């Protein structure tokens, strides 16, 4: 006599595969507009649509001329340089300040922890246009509008919450007895923090720094309010290009930004797995 089928197992498997199919469809829906940009950036013609030659896979219909224009155009070169300089400087400041803030907030003796946390994370909640307008009126008092210093400080303020969140998540599994043990052996608090705490939370610190860099690299609202002609970044140049002269160079830049973002995601995933592996060894 054959056993009765396990309907619970059948429905469980069906629900599991159905959920995976739905997740895949949502991913395709979100990624398809981004993926369409990539082949259009190789269009030999100055159009934002697929030509007949591209649809028929004619090699002559594809070209790297728009990528070459990024290299040849001085405005794009300056924008790329400014984006990397501002992004690296802002991410460095945000990483240091965010890590120190996360360590302080992780202390059980920290007073007004919730209030301070809400204030530090407010740049993620408050609409960016309000932050940009407030910073503009504040910067006018110190002549920081149209300067690299002002733009770096503003971008660092936007990146600090991401560092706090990632480092706080890493500190949730930190054994505080290690810090006490280091102090008991005669090391100073700074020595213990640098030699014991930092190596254990390094994946979270690096992840937060990458998030801060990407946030700065992709920011356009603050740049529109606070930057001058000399602080033109990639998003600002793309915004100006869409308004003044539309050509597929913008698509080429967008493709490069997608590749950069994907690379960052792979690095973050590798850091996450490394952090999980370290926790499993503790």
* pLDDT, tens digit, 9 for 90 and up, residues 153-186: 999 999 999 999 888 888 776 667 777 777 777 7
Tokens standing for residue 192: 């213990």
**More confident of the two residues 281 and 58:** 58
Burial classification of residue 106, based on how many CB atoms lie within 10 Å of its CB (0-12 exposed, 13-18 middle, 19 or more buried) = middle
Quote the pLDDT of residue 152: 92
Asked whether the beta carbons of 248 and 256 are under 8 A apart, the reply is no
| C-alpha–C-alpha distance, residues 216 and 225, integer Å | 14
Taking residues 224-252, what's their average pLDDT?
Answer: 82
Quote the pLDDT of residue 11: 63
Describe the crossing of helices 234-244 and 249-281 by its angle, rounded to 10 degrees.
150
Owner of token pair 């990397």? 84
What's the pLDDT tens digit per position in 179-207? Answer: 777 777 777 777 877 877 787 788 888 88
Closest CA to 207 of 123, 105, 275: 275
Beta partners for residue 62, in sequence order: 43
Ramachandran area for residue 275 (φ above 0: left; ψ -120 to 50: alpha; else beta): alpha
| C-alpha–C-alpha distance, residues 197 and 165, integer Å | 17
Under the banding of pLDDT at 50, 70 and 90, the label for residue 265 is: confident
> How big is the chain by its Cα radius of gyration, in Å?
24
Query: Has residue 2 got a pLDDT over 80?
Result: no
Tokens standing for residue 110: 């920290």
Under the banding of pLDDT at 50, 70 and 90, the label for residue 3 is: low
Percent of the chain at pLDDT exceeding 90: 12
φ, ψ dihedrals at 35, nearest 5°:
-70, -25
| C-alpha–C-alpha distance, residues 199 and 204, integer Å | 10
Distances (CA, A) of 39 to 32, 53, 63: 12, 12, 10
Closest CA to 179 of 274, 96, 103: 103
Quote the pLDDT of residue 88: 93
Under the banding of pLDDT at 50, 70 and 90, the label for residue 4 is: very low
| C-alpha–C-alpha distance, residues 87 and 213, integer Å | 5
Query: Has residue 268 got a pLDDT over 80?
Result: no
The CATH code for residues 73-246 is: 1.10.3720.10
Quote the pLDDT of residue 1: 45
What's the pLDDT tens digit per position in 56-114? Answer: 888 888 888 888 888 888 888 899 999 999 999 999 999 999 998 888 888 777 788 88
Closest CA to 228 of 90, 78, 93: 78
Domain map (residue ranges) of the chain: 7-60, 73-246
Closest CA to 46 of 281, 245, 231: 245
Tokens standing for residue 80: 């790329």
Taking residues 217-243, what's their average pLDDT?
Answer: 85
Asked whether the beta carbons of 148 and 107 are under 8 A apart, the reply is no
Tokens standing for residue 173: 């599994």
Asked whether the beta carbons of 162 and 215 are under 8 A apart, the reply is yes
């Amino acid at each position: 006599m054959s056993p009765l089928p396990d309907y619970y197992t059948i429905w469980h498997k069906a629900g599991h595969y159905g959920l995976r199919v739905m997740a895949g469809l949502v991913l395709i829906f979100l990624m398809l507009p981004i993926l369409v940009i990539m082949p259009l950036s190789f269009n030999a013609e100055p159009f934002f649509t697929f030509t007949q030659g591209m649809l028929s896979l004619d090699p002559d219909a594809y070209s790297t001329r728009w990528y070459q224009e990024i290299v040849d155009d001085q405005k794009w070169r300056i924008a790329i340089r400014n984006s990397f300089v501002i992004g690296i400087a802002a991410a460095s400041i945000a990483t240091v300040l965010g890590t120190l803030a996360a360590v302080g907030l992780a202390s059980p003796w920290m007073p007004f922890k919730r209030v301070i946390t809400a204030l530090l994370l407010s740049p993620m909640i408050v609409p960016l246009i309000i932050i940009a307008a407030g910073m503009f009126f504040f910067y006018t008092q110190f002549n920081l509008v149209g300067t690299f210093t002002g733009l770096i400080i503003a971008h660092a303020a936007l990146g600090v919450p991401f560092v706090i969140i990632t480092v706080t998540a890493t500190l949730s599994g930190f054994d505080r007895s290690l810090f006490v043990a280091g102090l008991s052996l005669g090391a100073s608090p700074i020595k213990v923090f640098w030699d014991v705490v930092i190596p254990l939370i390094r994946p979270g610190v690096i992840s937060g720094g990458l998030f801060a860099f990407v946030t700065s690299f992709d920011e356009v609202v603050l740049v529109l309010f606070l930057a001058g002609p000399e602080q033109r970044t990639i998003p600002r140049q793309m915004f100006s290009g869409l308004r003044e002269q539309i050509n597929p160079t913008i698509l080429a830049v967008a493709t490069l930004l997608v590749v950069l973002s994907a690379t960052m995601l792979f690095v973050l995933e590798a850091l996450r797995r490394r952090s999980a592996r370290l926790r499993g060894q503790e």
